Amino acid sequence: MSTTTIVSAPGKVLAAGGYLVLDQQYPGVVISTSSRFYTVIQASSGSANQIVVRSPQFHQAEWRYTVTYNAGGIQVNPQEDSIGGKNKFVHLALQHTLNLVSEIHSVAQVQERLLHGLDIAAVGDNDFYSQRAQLESLGLPRTTKSLSQITPFCHNGVKLTDVHKTGMGSSAALITSLVSALLLHFAAITEADFTNLEGDGRRLAHNAAQFVHCFAQGKVGSGFDVSSAVFGSQIYRRFGPAVLDPLMKGEFATGTLKSVLNSSAWDYSFRPIQLPPLTRLVLADVEAGSDTPSLVGKVLKWRGHEDSCETAKDLWTQIDESNQSLARQLDVLSQSYVQNTDVYEQTIRQLASLPAQEWESISKAFYDLHQTTQRIRNLMRRMGDLAGVEIEPEQQTHLLDQSIEQAGVVGGGVPGAGGYDAIWLLICNPPSLPDEQQPLRRVESVWSNFNESNVTPLLAQESVAKGARVVQLDEIPGLREAIQRR
């Protein structure tokens, strides 16, 4: 058995399908990001059945647990003296994953692997947390070049409870990496089976992470964030929540976890996708957060009201048609790159110097993609107006409009449920173009001069790796130094 197990899982951007993805009838377009969470599990030199979980990017972020065994299964007990206080997500991940391992193998297998305890470090790429304060303290402008100068996995200077997140799905990425790493470390799944996108091991890791994430949140969400953390960029259709009913009700008789998480009743579906070659996903952290649950609650209330349900149904049908059109257009552009790479590259170079309104005569496919992203924005704004919710607030509309009218920008929107805290763009990223002529520089100029809010780019692009993966410690710059920090 390896003494160290490391699994990384990507963040996400729900580019299309906000609100609709909650309903199994409608799929969402989810892009997984190059920014990732890492769980590093190492055999400790401590006492048997002791687990220490650390997050070395924060003050007082250490949680200690004692594992006990009885007729009811394995109990993971938080120690009273943990300086990090309570951490429901980590505690539930340990509790249920270790019990799942014992159901797959035996309690004895868990005991054997905890003979010297475990040290677990969990860290996230800097993009998961706002870096505005870091840039200010270093006297650097808000640009991607500045962000790349910040130490990887930098210390955020605050407690975990006080950090400003950027909305990229940190809890789903953390749970996915932690649950997957535990299953691998305790040999409940094999690395070969986990590496296979369609392997039973990866499917079990997905189902277990979905359960733990739902249980920690106290409700069964759509699961798109965990699915993209496990499987990568995709068209996602959610699972029926009933599959988790026994576990959400707290029914944990021996064997229940294994039977529910291996059940054929998991009816989610996903189809891998990718953004068009030589384009780039660009994300912005906008200084004003939104309360996603209250936005979602208001939209669902409007959708269910007898006075508005027919209007809602018509509008959701239109949005869904546009979302699915977006997915098809992404496929077509990827295929056109394969069919004639030279022509495609030449086209991207031309588009990079023109605003999207002037693209129709050069590339109908890219022009249509631009139009589709704009149509989705218009329909989502209309839904927000009808439901009395700021899905794309006026300030965000101004920021997006100014960004999208720049040469080389395909389109964009507010991710997920919308609100004030983020935007995403898709821009042309032609090779060997002088840096000052790259569309990214024009976008950064708009953002740095935008006067209605502070806008900071993120380094994240689309992840080229498909979802969660096993990595080696020295493969990832700065990871060894980060987990050694105490």
Distances (CA, A) of 420 to 70, 111, 140, 396: 49, 48, 24, 7
- Kindly give the pairing relationship between strand 118-124 and strand 50-54: parallel
* 58 compared with 83, residue with greater pLDDT: 58
User: In this predicted structure, what is the pLDDT of residue 478?
Assistant: 97
pLDDT digits (tens, 9 = 90+) for 366-402: 999 999 999 999 999 999 999 999 999 999 999 999 9
Q: How far is CA 435 from the centre of its chain?
A: 29
In the predicted model, what is the mean pLDDT of residues 142-160?
Answer: 95
User: In this predicted structure, what is the pLDDT of residue 291?
Assistant: 61
User: In this predicted structure, what is the pLDDT of residue 254?
Assistant: 85
| pLDDT tier, 66 (very low <50, low <70, confident <90, very high otherwise) | very high
In the predicted model, what is the mean pLDDT of residues 79-93?
Answer: 91
pLDDT digits (tens, 9 = 90+) for 188-203: 999 999 999 999 999 9
In the predicted model, what is the mean pLDDT of residues 215-233?
Answer: 97
Give the mean pLDDT of the chain.
95
Handedness of CA 88, 93, 99, 102 (dihedral sign): negative
| Residue 51, beta-bridge partner list | 65, 118
Four-CA torsion 225, 230, 236, 240, nearest 10 degrees? -80
Q: Which two tokens stand for residue 73?
A: 């299964």
- Kindly give the pairing relationship between strand 28-43 and strand 50-54: unpaired
Residue 458 amino acid letter: L
| pLDDT tier, 83 (very low <50, low <70, confident <90, very high otherwise) | confident
| Residue 16, beta-bridge partner list | 29
Indicate whether 290 pLDDT > 80.
no
| pLDDT tier, 486 (very low <50, low <70, confident <90, very high otherwise) | confident
User: In this predicted structure, what is the pLDDT of residue 293?
Assistant: 67
In the predicted model, what is the mean pLDDT of residues 295-318?
Answer: 94
Q: What angle do CA 93, 99, 100 make, to 5 degrees?
A: 85
* 46 compared with 331, residue with greater pLDDT: 331
Q: Which two tokens stand for residue 320?
A: 């869904």
Indicate whether 27 pLDDT > 90.
yes
In the predicted model, what is the mean pLDDT of residues 395-419?
Answer: 97
| pLDDT tier, 472 (very low <50, low <70, confident <90, very high otherwise) | very high
pLDDT digits (tens, 9 = 90+) for 90-123: 999 999 999 999 999 999 999 999 999 999 999 9
Q: Which two tokens stand for residue 212?
A: 């733990």
| pLDDT tier, 475 (very low <50, low <70, confident <90, very high otherwise) | very high
* 84 compared with 117, residue with greater pLDDT: 117
| pLDDT tier, 288 (very low <50, low <70, confident <90, very high otherwise) | low
By the 10 Å C-beta count (0-12 exposed, 13-18 middle, 19+ buried), 105 is classed as: middle
As a whole number of angstroms, the distance between CA 480 and CA 476 comes to 8
In the predicted model, what is the mean pLDDT of residues 393-413?
Answer: 97
| Residue 282, beta-bridge partner list | 425
pTM here?
0.96
User: In this predicted structure, what is the pLDDT of residue 2?
Assistant: 62
| pLDDT tier, 410 (very low <50, low <70, confident <90, very high otherwise) | very high
* 85 compared with 13, residue with greater pLDDT: 13
